[in-house]
Structure 1
Amino acid sequence: MLSSAAASLAALLFSHAALAFDPFVVRDIRIDGVQRTEPGTVFGYLPVKVGEMLTEDKAAAAVRALFATGFFKDVRLEVEGDVLVVYLEERPAIASLVITGTKEFDQETIKRALRDQGLAESRIFDRSVLERAEQELKRQYLSRGKYATRVTSTVTPLERNRVGITLAVEEGESAKIDSIRFVGNKAFTEKQLLDQMRLTTPNWLSWYTKTDQYSREKLSGDLEALRSFYLNRGYLEFSVDSTQVSISPDKEDVTLTVALTEGGVYRVRDVQVRGQLLGRDQEFTSLVSLAPGQTFSGQKLADSQKAITDRLGTLGYAFANVNAVPRIDRDKREVDFEFLVDPGRRVYVRRINVSGNARTRDEVVRREMRQFEDAWYDAEKIRLSRERIGRLGYFTNVRVESRPVADAPDQVDLDVIVDEQPTGAITFGVGVSSAESLILSASLNQQNFLGTGKAFGLSVNTSKINRSFALSYADPYYTPEGISRAFDLYSRNFNAAELDLGDYKWRSSGVGIRYGIPYTEFDRISMGLTYETNTLKLGGNAPQRFKDYVADFGEDSSALLAVLGWQRDSRDSAFAPTKGRFQTATLEVTLPALDMRYARALYNHQWYLPLSKDYTLALNGDIAFGRAFGGKEYPLFKNFYAGGIGSVRGFAQSSLGPRDAIDDVPLGGQTRVVGSAEFIFPLPGTGNDRSFRSFVFLDAGNVFPTGGIDLGDLRYSVGIGLNWASPVGPMKLSFGFPLNKKDEDRSQRIQFQLGTGF
């Protein structure tokens, strides 16, 4: 920039020397020296027009104006009679910009940052802009902890007054945090304070989390976490005095030193709520969780302010302001708080905007909204809307932000911002085995088909032993009121003789339809009919249980199944719930018109209890009963099974319960009881990344043949696991350890599920 200014000054002085002339009327203006710049552009910037009187002051102003465009590196004015001649030397244009050696950032990210600095292809080349761009590039690397980064620029002249620019980057190694020290801490140990910070020294996971790489933003967040830690324990006057960042001479190690003043522990002496309370003095006072006699807590103070603000939000006051004013008695270490309430103006929602849904249609999001346009702002309805959108399972994150409308103080717009996630799974399989020869399988499941919110599923499997086909389709908004409709079509064939499990073949086919009716914001009932046929072909060496089945139902049997269900979903998210419940109850009963006569009842209850911002306790209970009536036997293929992921981990999939004495295969049972408790926490080093969720679990369960439940026969297991929304689809991995394995049980320590997302 200084070089440009010096050139302008020199040119201006030269122009004054050259233009020692008497004022005259300009009859014509001639432009010389331009190649890319249009003459019209020059005339547009030139403050002198044909027919005007040209003075030395106007000539100097003309030179300054043309230099100020940045297009030219030399400007001269000459006079030929009454003609003003403008001689220009253009700056070169940037023909190409090549960046090499970058691994930390992708090319587009870097070019976008350089473009913001004024350096990009087709722009005018300016050496000062290039220097600024180099510094910006180094600054970007410094934010990633790379202090040894070097940037070398090369400018190559090209034909037609153009240049090619090459930026060669040597990234170097990222500087690691060698140590983190605290000065001034007396009440808490260094280890306790380090536990509050995301920045760490190198550990076994830091290669992935990068928490051992210093950045100013990360440190600011950690200092806020330290401040909250002290404030929540009564240290009202805690302060961070300074932070010192020391870099080793080789720029590979960083030492952080945090100097702090703890102050003393304060107790709350008195709390008052004042201001414009809208006649709700008692109600607002009851929302304050900070009580006299308690040790001061910054979290309780913030919660109290939020509770009053949220309550005002439900009344339409979107921009209410609640300030807590402290009065500190340092001698007694006591503090009084006065909550000053200013509700502001009551507002209504003008417009709701949806963004981030590249795949999902707007209407799929909007139909879950309970806050409507042209209605009074209601914070509770907005919260409910956000949770309903989150329960769809299509998005990893849902945010709703209020934005004031310009020149309309009683209106706001709502911005609903969603982050989409893969909602489908597609798998293909080809295999060869000695038992089944060629095996082909494929499945397609999409919970948000073509972005419409409808669910579609198709699976095909073919081999000598198993052949199956299943098709399902569900429309959650078959009617605008939210009544859902679903169809199912399936056919399954099993040839047991190929596995030496008995001389029989089984085929089961069915078609069904279901309707769901919502009757509260969280509850829905469903009802449907399924027609199913079963064919059992027996050979001479068929197991006795199948002979008994044929004796009771015949080789061909059918059933018309009536299904009644109930579902309640109050979770805050279907992707990674932290609070709320999910309950389902289903009753299946065969109608008397056809062969089989049985009923099945199933109930599942999932309960998520938030223990803190990062920790959740998840409880799950599952109980199911099946019984025959009308003098018929209970169908074998309707038995329940337990074991594996989804029931009792650590035991082989569907292996628990009684087994056939001859072929040693699991028989299942008419009763199933399964329960589990999971303590869910972030994977160490991943912060609040909800795509990673680790857990420890305790499982219990079993299946029982016909009679009641024998709690003494339950199987137990403990273990650890990981849920990961991986780039190829959702993955669940568990390491289970059976606690009371019997001789007949089959254990399986490592179990996982993986789908391919799209």
Structure 2
Amino acid sequence: MVIPAYAADPQAYTVTIAQTGDAELDQMLKDSCTLISLKDAAPVGSFAMVARARADEERFMTALHSLGYYEGKAQVHIANRPLDDRGLYDTIDYSPASPPISIQITVEPGALYHIRTLSIDGKVPVDAKQWLALKDQAPARAAAIQQAREKLQTALQEHGYALAKVDEPVGHLLPDTDELDVSYHVESGKRVALGKITVKGLNQVKPDLVDRHLRIAKGEPFKLSDIEKNRQDLQATGVFSSVRTRIGKSLDSQQQLPVTFIVSERLRHTTQLGAAYSTDLGASFSSFWQNRNLLGFGEQLNFTAGITQIGGNSTTGIGYNVGLNFIKPDFLQLDQTLHVSLAAIKQSLSTYDQDAVLGEVLLSRKLTPFWTGGIGISPEQSTITQAGETHDYTLVSLPVSLKYDSTNSLLDPTSGSIVTPSVTPVVALTGSETNTFVIMQLSASTYLDWHSQGRSVLALRGLLGDIVGAGRFDLPPDKRFYGGGSNTVRGYRYQSIGPQFSDGNPQGGKAIATATIEFRQRLFEHYGIVAFTDAGQVSPDTLLASGDWRVGAGIGARYYTGFGPLRLDFALPVNQQSNSGSFEIYIGLGQAF
């Protein structure tokens, strides 16, 4: 005799949702179903299971209405019994533990309703109906109807009606024609002007800094977008962790509306430690110290120090870098920044050995929301050894650049583009047969978001560079172009692509061209994978005129954190050259580009 095994409390179950024929509705039903989302995380007994199913029926009705199905029906059956079946609880309690109880969800959408008329009740500008951004005969989706209310409220405030109030929309169903009449009741009030502008929360930040960035004043017409732009400008100074606005709820004695900016200052000092590894450059460790508000006007003082080139296959010894950087925002005028830096570096590479002291004074200016221009002067003194020959170089560079940046993130961009053309004349005071040469570069990257949440991204990168005014061996070795490594062609050792000496070490060239295509796919919440192909060539003379193209390909893994993705890339050289290894590995913070 076989004794059946009865289910204990909690009771296992399976869930099936019948397809409705509307893919968007099917997905919304699945996403809102707690019977599915809590099935494994929070097992339940009979009473809680039925309560969960009843709550889901209400959620399904909300989903139907949100998409315009106002006559839809939703039913949940447990073990083929409706939820109001008196014997349902006993059925659940005395069901065998295996197989689990079956839960069936059936949703009948019914007719899709459309908007017949839109009306606004109240005294409003003649253009107000257009601000709803809804059209007659559009699907009567609850979400769109509610969003139209918010758009109308925002538009009224944008046109000076700061105290306007738009009530919840009222809908009248017309079952005979499957239509819906929608009305909005509005109390617009009168147009108002800005009252007193107040800033609260200042401590170490000087009030003058805020005054420079506030471009609204008492007595000006109230305009919501102007207030928001000023809030964003204050946030962009970098000295505040948050900037909020609080608009007065009533007019002051002058019949104007006061506005308050509430700021929270960032910690004045910050310290960071970092590490990275690649098979070509080895391990590196870095430290960073920053004063974000040195003199009270958002000045930054940054100190960096790092040990590099520990054990890489393209290195011959351990290197270091030490740097001090001062940044003065709003130098002489708004949106203009002064950068002053001093650094010392040591590099021991297969390409060359270098000891250098570098300086730079750079003036950058934000020209538009996306374009930034820069011009500077950069003196440097270096000693470089290549192919057994050592030379001292004293150089003065005059970099001129433009940068277009519409990306949405520094470490993990998913949309937008970056384009950077630059021209850098270099005057060689010592160490070269030619007094002056010019380095020209054009780099670009773009990011195509295949989904609105940035989960599938196609990233493209390219670089063109050319040097005129000097022969290849008249150029300091560190000013020549090299290919290979994370920044150009992965899978090849750092700086290995291009002309070579007889011993296989790189010579460097006068021109470079590289291109990358990379596909990035998020998996779950914190993980991701990438696949990429890089290609590039380094020419000894004219751009694209000579030099063998090298191609690398690989895959990578990403772990997404709150401060940026951790990167692991594995790359192979597709068409190897004499000095390339069999593979390269790269580990770091942030995407490769």
Q: Structure 1 CA distance, aligned partners of 2:291 and 2:493?
A: 25
Aligned pair partner of 1:671 in 506, 512, 521: 512
What secondary structure does 2:153 align onto? helix
Q: How does 1:74-89 map to 2 (within 5 A)?
A: none
Matched with 2:498 is 658
1:512 to 350, 360, 366: 360
Equivalent residue number for residue 470 of structure 1? 323
Q: Structure 2 CA distance, aligned partners of 1:352 and 1:211?
A: 49
CA 567–529 in structure 1, closer or farther in 2 if over 3 Å, else same: same
- Which residue number in structure 1 is paired with residue 587 of structure 2? 752
C-alpha spacing 1:421/1:266, structure 2 compared with 1 (3 Å): farther
- Which SS does the other structure have where 1:458 is aligned? strand
AA of the residue aligned to 1:490: A
Q: Structure 2 stretches of 5 or more lacking a match?
A: 1-8, 78-82, 84-88, 276-281, 311-316
CA contact 1:654–1:666 (8 Å) conserved in 2: no
Tell me if the contact between 2:113 and 2:179 (Cα under 8 Å) persists in the aligned partners. Answer: yes
Task: Report which of the two has the higher share of helix.
Answer: 1
What are the equivalent positions in structure 2 for 1:240-251 lying under 5 Å apart?
A: none
Task: Give how far 1:636 is off.
Answer: 2.4
Q: 1:712 to 1:641 in 2, by over 3 A?
A: closer
Q: What pairs up with 1:480-495 in 2 under 5 angstroms?
A: 481-495=334-348
**Residue 329 (1) aligns with residue 174 (2):** yes
Unpaired runs of at least 5, structure 1 = 1-174, 430-435, 687-691
Residue 316 (structure 1) aligned with residue 160 (structure 2): yes
Q: Residue 614 of structure 1: CA displacement?
A: 2.4
Identify which of 620, 623, 626 aligns with 2:466: 626
Q: Render the CA deviation track for 1:263-313: whole Å, top value 9, x for unaligned.
A: 4242435444545675442xx455554334444444543444444333333
Q: Quote the residue 1:235 is aligned against.
A: 69
Among 121, 135, 140, the residue aligned to 1:291: 135
Deviation at 1:488, TM superposition (A): 1.8
Q: Which residue among 525, 528, 531 is the counterpart of 2:373?
A: 525
Rounded to whole Å, the distance in 1 between the matches of 2:54 and 2:326 is 50
Between 591-600 and 256-265, report the one with greater CA deviation. Answer: 256-265
Q: Take 2:264 and 2:103, find their aligned partners in 1: how far apart are those partners?
A: 39
Query: Does residue 597 of structure 1 match 2:436?
Result: yes
The answer on whether the counterparts of 1:733 and 1:753 sit within 8 Å (CA) in structure 2 is yes
Distance in 1, Cα, partners of 2:265 & 2:43: 27
2:477 is the alignment partner of 1:636: yes
1:724 counterpart letter in structure 2: Y
Task: Quote the residue 1:71 is aligned against.
Answer: none
Measured on the aligned residues, the alpha-carbon RMSD in Å equals: 5.5
- Secondary structure of 1:309's partner? helix
Report the AA paired with residue 398 of structure 2.
Answer: A
Residue pairs, 1:276-287, within 5 angstroms: 279-281=125-127, 284-287=128-131
Report what 2:86 is aligned to: none
Determine if contact 1:368/1:388 at 8 Å carries over to the other structure. Answer: yes
TM-score, normalized by length of structure 1? 0.55
Distance 1:507 1:603 in 2: 28
State the distance in 2 between where 1:634 and 1:470 align: 25
1:715 to 551, 573, 585: 551
Whole-Å separation in 2 of the counterparts to 1:749 and 1:177: 52
Supply the distance in 2 between the matched residues of 1:574 and 1:354 (Cα, whole angstroms).
30
Q: Deviations over 1:203-248 (max 9, x none)?
A: 9xx9xxx976999xx999999996775456432456889999x9x9
Q: Distance in 2 between matches of 1:423 and 1:219?
A: 53
TM, length-normalised to structure 2: 0.68
Look up the equivalent residue of 1:533 and give its one-letter code: Q
Relative to structure 1, the CA distance from residue 441 to residue 334 in structure 2 (aligned partners, 3 Å threshold; closer, same or farther) is closer
The change in CA–CA distance for 1:352 and 1:644 in structure 2 (over 3 A counts) is farther
The Cα shift of 1:590 comes to: 1.6
Which residue of the partner structure matches residue 287 of structure 2? 443
Alpha carbons 2:558, 2:568 under 8 Å: kept:
yes
Residue 513 of structure 1: how far off its partner (Å): 0.5
Cα distance, 1:740 vs. partner?
A: 4.3
Assess, with a 3 A threshold, how the Cα gap between structure 1 residues 753 and 275 changes in structure 2: closer, same or farther.
Answer: same
In the alignment, the residues of structure 2 paired with residue 222 and residue 703 of structure 1 have an alpha-carbon distance, to the nearest angstrom, of 60
Within 5 Å, give how 1:315-714 maps onto structure 2.
315-322=159-166, 324-338=169-183, 341-347=186-192, 348=194, 350-351=196-197, 375-385=220-230, 387-388=232-233, 400=244, 402-405=246-249, 408=252, 411=257, 413-414=259-260, 416=262, 426-427=272-273, 442-446=286-290, 448=292, 452=298, 454-461=300-307, 465-479=318-332, 481-495=334-348, 501=350, 505-537=353-385, 543=387, 555-571=391-407, 580-591=416-427, 595=432, 596-607=435-446, 614-615=453-454, 617=457, 619-629=459-469, 633-641=474-482, 645=486, 651=491, 654=494, 657-658=497-498, 660=500, 662-665=502-505, 669=509, 670-679=511-520, 681=522, 684=524, 686=525, 694=528, 696=530, 698-705=532-539, 706-709=541-544, 713=549
**2:257 counterpart letter in structure 1:** Q
Tell me if structure 2 keeps the 8 A contact 1:196–1:229. Answer: no
Specify whether residues 427 and 524 from structure 1 end up closer, same or farther in structure 2 by C-alpha distance, changes over 3 A only: same
My pick for the range that moved more, 327-336 or 652-661, is 652-661
Number of positions where the alignment pairs a residue of Structure 1 with one of Structure 2: 533
Task: Give the 3 Å change call, closer, same or farther, for CA 279–332 of structure 1 in structure 2.
Answer: closer
Question: Structure 1's 671 and 303: CA in aligned 2 closer, same or farther, altered over 3 A?
Answer: farther
1: distance between equivalents of 2:273 and 2:236? Answer: 25
- Which AA in structure 2 matches 1:614? Q
The letter of the residue matching 2:566 is K
1:510-542, Cα deviation, whole Å (9 max, x unpaired): 2110112233344332211011223235xxxx6
Residues 185 and 466 from structure 1, CA distance in 2 versus in 1: closer, same or farther, beyond 3 angstroms? closer
| Partner SS state of residue 152, structure 2 | helix
- Secondary structure at the residue paired with 2:248? strand
Task: Indicate conservation of the 8 Å contact 2:482/2:498, yes or no.
Answer: no
- Inter-partner Cα distance in structure 2 for 1:515 and 1:293: 56
Return the offset for 1:709. Answer: 4.0
Paired amino acid for 1:506: Q
SS at match of 2:68: coil
Cα deviation, residue 698, structure 1: 4.2
Secondary structure of 1:196's match? helix
SS in 1 for 2:560: strand
Give the structure with higher Rg (CA). 1
1:637 CA drift (Å) = 0.9
Show the counterpart of 2:80. none
The percent identity for this pair of structures is 14
Q: Please say if residues 527 and 564 of structure 1, whose CA atoms lie closer than 8 Å, have aligned partners that are also in contact.
A: yes
Classify the secondary structure of the residue corresponding to 2:31: coil
Between the aligned partners of 2:158 and 2:506, the Cα distance in structure 1 is 56
- In the alignment, is the contact (CA less than 8 A) between 1:535 and 1:556 conserved in 2? yes
Greater relative contact order, per chain length (Cα 8 Å cut-off, separation 6+): 2
Inter-partner Cα distance in structure 2 for 1:377 and 1:571: 31
For the residues of structure 2 that align with 1:345 and 1:375, how far apart are their CA atoms? Answer: 15
Hey, what's the Cα distance between the residues in 1 that align with 2:207 and 2:12?
A: 49
Aligned partners of 1:199 and 1:212 also within 8 Å: no
Cross-structure match for 2:278: none
Distance 1:302 1:486 in 2: 48
